[in-house]
Structure 1
């Protein structure tokens, strides 16, 4: 086989032909993402079986593509695997030679029958230009259709392109029959003599396109696999998809295999020059695309940028960080927001600000709370911040139980919990699961306009303020870190944290002095 073998895969001494199924064709394969035929562990045998296996998979893809086009009325704007007539003929010749070897290995009667001279003469007349289009179609039409299904050509009968391809396939068959005749006499050293094949350069296949979505799909599947799996949160998956889509749109290609460092640098500069995003956001976008590229390398280090991720060497943008105290609510702002929350009828706006003010919770964590998360130990109420029920947290260390502050009890939180229906406490108008961060942020900005306090973090500001409450009122550092879901990576975080600690945790929460809204 000349050149690099298309779709050839080697893993742990085993060989196979593998094709990634285009996303729009996966419904025709029961949702599978790839097709694969195992070729065994003997490389010589695998090479011999390669051509037939590759042709079989490409035919399956082609049939699915034809079904998709028939169902949608849409044809591909460009060929997925375009080849010249010479390349198609060379591949066809190689496939015929491989098939000849396959037959000789399994049936001793095959080599005892000579070639059909009349058939050989028809192929010779075909590439000599003596046959009509109808005669050529009868002779090589099936192989022309295979090339079309494989996405190698879209040549149409009665065109010069179609006729040239048909004549090239006649060359391939004539030369293959000549090799067959030589092999029947024990000569296996024969080479093509027709210039179309004799002068053909080895076909160096470009690797199959691997899109950013392909990589993300594989990583999502990998993380969800196994008994104690830790799946990627849907929100995180969307973030990676969105940032990769933005990069792909800018570079005009979804093929992650063709990414260059120059493109990464150019994209960063484009985003910065546009002036719509902060440098911090631009840096995060670059990091997320870089992470997806790293996943691709981890999945297939031999073929996916074996020399290294091209985005790793790019310097991310620098940015200044707003001081923490400017992002936090002031006491007056906190009182303003909490007083406004008292007047709200919608549970999301009524309780999330209060819960965050007296716990340092992330707004996203508060938004996913359920009635079942609240529980009593003795005469004290607590709630769990948990990943149970397919919920996600920023870090594994964010799992925790938080005492209900006395101020929340006085506000009527426990009565609200008792009266609530089972399930999510804070729902949307038309569906249960909603993203509360943008809703809470917009609501807060209606009270504290951006132009008056641009530095304020409407959602994260509660977290900063609660940290200051803890410092002001002498809450022990380990209790503060636990209640806010922070971690320092110390081994002590792996031990204990049973119900035995809850009374002490409640005592630490009680140190925080409630503030009056009057």
Structure 2
């Protein structure tokens, strides 16, 4: 064997086929995360039976997928576990031979039945192209449907693709009947003679496709394992899935095992030529795709691109970076936005701009704040930026405590927090957890149109401005780095940071002069 097959599990000398269930399908399979079929302790027999076991599991998942599609009205854009026509035919042939072997081992009467040569000739006519689609469906339609249900094909009747697969299954059945006839005479040495099967690699030497979602699922599971695990945030996992899905759609295959360097280069160029995305975004998408392939190699270096990631070494797009001062709010813009926020009734528009202006927080961090994050020490109020409650932060250094600036207290922030119900402070109209970044960005652009200030970063601009406040008002660098969640990599960051430092941190915050807004009307 050329390596461990996909969906193969080995533990304590026992083998099994295991397939992870996509999250959206788990409710249709008793909320299980995976399906597994035991293959016994004989490795050779386990390898022989592995493909059939995986196909059986994939059909169960296929039924769940049908139910999900019926419930949501969404149709899959591509087969989940795509195989070539030859691969499907080889598997079908081998399953028929294995079934023949099993019957001969369990019932002596089976071998006494004569072969129906008239029926066999129908299979020959099928792969010779003499039969109509309806006749082919009558012969092999059920097995073709099993392949479709297993996610190995999306071929539809009436297409060339469907007819080619139906003819290939006729080859598999015709050759299987020939082996049965030989075995009835005691000859178990027969091999397929049709090129479709004769020229194919042995089934056990064909690794099952590894989809990009398979790799990401494994990485999500790996990072969540263990007592002090650091799970991959759901939003980050979705980003990787979306970018890999875009690549898979472009190359018309989800099989990560077949990615080539030429495809990687071609995808970059196609995204650039489309002119819809910036070079910076194209570079990020490609880097995320390359990262997923690296995860695949880390999980199975012997089989998954053993010679190395094919996307390594590909030149990514160059791009110009907008100077930091152009992305920041000017003082006049900051005053305009904060004054407009005073008039807002919706909490996220009323308070998130003010919180970011006086802390340098990321908008996503401010959007996930909860009432319980605010606390008082020595008569001074602070809030925590934390991962508690399944929240995610950009980096480990982003975990921090920030003093409430006097301008926020005067504005009434603490009164708002004290009056709020437990839980998230900034909720959606229909659900608690919402993505605030696009909402805040759109709101700001209503005040400062893109055509007037294209360089401005409506969300991140506060972070740039707060850094300048700290420089202007001589806030110590270590306090500035801590409050903004930045790191310089020094070993001192691993020590202390207890409540003892909070008064000094508050004193540093007090050095920042308030933004003077003409009125509060």
Give the TM-score category using the shorter length. Answer: 0.7 to 0.9
- 1:203: which partner in 2? 201
Q: Report the CA distance between 1:207 and its aligned residue.
A: 2.8
The worse-fitting range, judged by mean Cα deviation, of 248-257 and 143-152 is 143-152
**1:7–1:17 CA contact under 8 A, matched in 2:** no
- 1:339: which partner in 2? 339
Residue correspondence of structure 1 range 32-431 to structure 2 within 5 A: 32-40=33-41, 45-62=42-59, 65=62, 80=83, 82-83=85-86, 87=90, 91=94, 95=98, 118-119=112-113, 121-122=114-115, 149=146, 166-178=173-185, 181=186, 191-192=189-190, 195=193, 200-205=198-203, 206-431=206-431
Residues 177-220 of structure 1: CA deviation (Å, up to 9, x unaligned): 44xx47xxxxxxx73288569x9345345432222222222222
User: 1:348 and 1:160 mapped to 2: Cα distance?
Assistant: 61
Relative to structure 1, the CA distance from residue 160 to residue 98 in structure 2 (aligned partners, 3 Å threshold; closer, same or farther) is: closer
The worse-fitting range, judged by mean Cα deviation, of 310-319 and 145-154 is 145-154
- 2:17: which partner in 1? 18
Give secondary structure in 2 for the equivalent of 1:175: helix
Relative to structure 1, the CA distance from residue 324 to residue 57 in structure 2 (aligned partners, 3 Å threshold; closer, same or farther) is: closer
Q: Report the CA distance between 1:77 and its aligned residue.
A: 8.9
Give secondary structure in 2 for the equivalent of 1:264: helix
Residues 82-101 of structure 1: CA deviation (Å, up to 9, x unaligned): 44898468625763797599
**1:17–1:50 CA contact under 8 A, matched in 2:** no
Gaps of 5+ in 2: 127-137
Larger radius of gyration: 1
Residues 134-159 of structure 1: CA deviation (Å, up to 9, x unaligned): xxxxxxx9999778746699999xx9
Q: Report the CA distance between 1:470 and its aligned residue.
A: 0.8
Residues 113-137 of structure 1: CA deviation (Å, up to 9, x unaligned): 8x98853x54678758899x9xxxx
Give secondary structure in 1 for the equivalent of 2:198: coil
Residues 230-277 of structure 1: CA deviation (Å, up to 9, x unaligned): 222222122112212221222222222221111111111111122221
User: 1:381 and 1:22 mapped to 2: Cα distance?
Assistant: 46
- 1:491: which partner in 2? 491
The worse-fitting range, judged by mean Cα deviation, of 282-291 and 73-82 is 73-82
User: 1:386 and 1:173 mapped to 2: Cα distance?
Assistant: 67
**1:9–1:15 CA contact under 8 A, matched in 2:** no
User: 1:76 and 1:427 mapped to 2: Cα distance?
Assistant: 33
Q: Report the CA distance between 1:227 and its aligned residue.
A: 2.2
**2:120–2:174 CA contact under 8 A, matched in 1:** yes
Relative to structure 1, the CA distance from residue 171 to residue 348 in structure 2 (aligned partners, 3 Å threshold; closer, same or farther) is: same
**2:373–2:383 CA contact under 8 A, matched in 1:** yes
User: 1:117 and 1:404 mapped to 2: Cα distance?
Assistant: 85
Q: Report the CA distance between 1:16 and its aligned residue.
A: 3.6
The worse-fitting range, judged by mean Cα deviation, of 276-285 and 297-306 is 297-306
Give secondary structure in 2 for the equivalent of 1:18: strand
Relative to structure 1, the CA distance from residue 162 to residue 214 in structure 2 (aligned partners, 3 Å threshold; closer, same or farther) is: closer
Relative to structure 1, the CA distance from residue 13 to residue 404 in structure 2 (aligned partners, 3 Å threshold; closer, same or farther) is: same
Report the TM-score when normalising by structure 1: 0.80
**2:100–2:180 CA contact under 8 A, matched in 1:** no
User: 2:393 and 2:321 mapped to 1: Cα distance?
Assistant: 24
Relative to structure 1, the CA distance from residue 434 to residue 173 in structure 2 (aligned partners, 3 Å threshold; closer, same or farther) is: same
**1:283–1:317 CA contact under 8 A, matched in 2:** yes
User: 1:378 and 1:7 mapped to 2: Cα distance?
Assistant: 59
**2:111–2:184 CA contact under 8 A, matched in 1:** no
Q: Report the CA distance between 1:509 and its aligned residue.
A: 0.8
User: 1:515 and 1:254 mapped to 2: Cα distance?
Assistant: 53
Give secondary structure in 2 for the equivalent of 1:431: coil
User: 1:426 and 1:89 mapped to 2: Cα distance?
Assistant: 56
User: 1:318 and 1:224 mapped to 2: Cα distance?
Assistant: 35
Relative to structure 1, the CA distance from residue 49 to residue 298 in structure 2 (aligned partners, 3 Å threshold; closer, same or farther) is: closer
**2:371–2:420 CA contact under 8 A, matched in 1:** yes
Give secondary structure in 2 for the equivalent of 1:37: strand
Q: Report the CA distance between 1:50 and its aligned residue.
A: 3.5
Give secondary structure in 2 for the equivalent of 1:345: coil
- 1:185: which partner in 2? none
User: 2:123 and 2:58 mapped to 1: Cα distance?
Assistant: 34
